[in-house]
Amino acid sequence: GEDVEQSLFLSVREGDSSVINCTYTDSSSTYLYWYKQEPGAGLQLLTYIFSNMDMKQDQRLTVLLNKKDKHLSLRIADTQTGDSAIYFCAVTGGGVSGGYNKLIFGAGTRLAVHP
Amino acid sequence: DGGITQSPKYLFRKEGQNVTLSCEQNLNHDAMYWYRQDPGQGLRLIYYSQIVNDFQKGDIAEGYSVSREKKESFPLTVTSAQKNPTAFYLCASSMGRPNGYNEQFFGPGTRLTVL
């Protein structure tokens, strides 16, 4: 079935850029999402990209999509301590009856920002 | 304020007892989902529902049951048949557009501990 992989940890210095990577297997994924989870909380959507785009920028966030390599990345510019959280990549896949697409989540990358 | 709520935030259960987790949304979403989150793992889909009075098993449905009698509500029962129920449970909802943008909105989660 569909698989989504992420590295588990990333540590960066405050003010540097963070790059979180994700690879997936289902080339038919139409939407790809990045979610953020703070400790003990639910997930909140950070940004998403449609599969016919290569790049999307939203303030400090830049999403890059390489469809050929099935690789998605999230770049956070000027990383702050408030960015410390777990970041999940999710892709549409494993379509269900009626056409509604499930989301397949990666294991999450824990980002630690230090002074 | 539109949103999705889960209660309780923390739940303790003795082995052999069934327990029901509540999930309510006022976003007028058709689709609702239950996920289980364990440390170092991504979200695993337990059950989902695309419409009232209909629900489908996800990847790890054994030992769980759900109902969808109202659009706003999708309670999850963790039965005594679930071998390892201690986990963080997340409920989500989405508009459920077929083959389209299908952002899932998450509740704050319920942490279940079996004593």
Q: What's the pLDDT score for residue B1? A: 63
- Those residues with Cβ within 8 angstroms of residue B78's Cβ, 6 or more apart along the chain or in another chain: B13, B18, B19, B20, B21, B63, B64, B85, B89, B112
- Using a CB–CB cutoff of 8 Å, tell me whether A108 touches chain B: yes
Mutate which of B7, B93, B99 to test chain A, going by most A C-beta atoms within 10 A?
Answer: B99
| Higher-confidence position of B101 and B70 | B70
Please, are residues A10 and A18 in contact by the beta-carbon 8 Å criterion? yes
Q: Do A107 and B42 touch (CB under 8 A)?
A: yes
B10 touches chain A (CB under 8 A): no
Q: What is the DSSP letter of B85?
A: -
The alpha carbon of residue B98 and the mean position of all alpha carbons in its chain are separated, in whole angstroms, by 21
Residue A29 has a pLDDT of 77
Q: Give me the pLDDT at residue B39, please.
A: 82
Contacts of A49 in chain B (CB under 8 A): none
Q: What pLDDT score was predicted for residue A97?
A: 47
